[in-house]
Amino acid sequence: MSSTGHLIVVDEDADFAWLIDQWLSSEGWQVSAFTEVSEAAAVLEATPPTAVLLNLHLENHSGFECLHRWRRSLPCPIVVLSALPSDTEQDKAQALGAAAYLPKPFNDEQLKAALHRVCAGETP
């Protein structure tokens, strides 16, 4: 992948976030993973990343609310992840400004391709 940068991952599953870090750090990405929305929000406000990976199904927060709020304030693309994918959910995420939607499980090549597309400004 030619376009690398700083990626924020927001997912309550720390093991999954670690796996994403392993997949992408070898490609030159700097990955910062957060299981708590409040911690991620503080970093996002201080230093906007190249892209955000956001799980829609967070334990104490609505991923849709985060997407709506962050989409308005961040200049970077937001890729949403979902373990319970549906067409309705995907449509809602895209209406709220998601740059891409990845249903779990996905593999490293699918993730890298999605990031390449959104960082290049391509739409799904």
Q: Over the stretch 78-103, which tens digit does the pLDDT of each residue have?
A: 999 998 889 999 999 999 999 999 99
Quote the pLDDT of residue 3.
Answer: 46
Q: Kindly report the pTM of this predicted structure.
A: 0.92
CA neighbours closer than 13 Å in the CB half-sphere of residue 25:
12
Domains and CATH numbers, the chain: 11-119 (3.40.50.2300)
pLDDT 10s digits, 3-58: 489 999 999 999 999 999 999 998 999 999 999 999 999 999 899 899 999 999 88
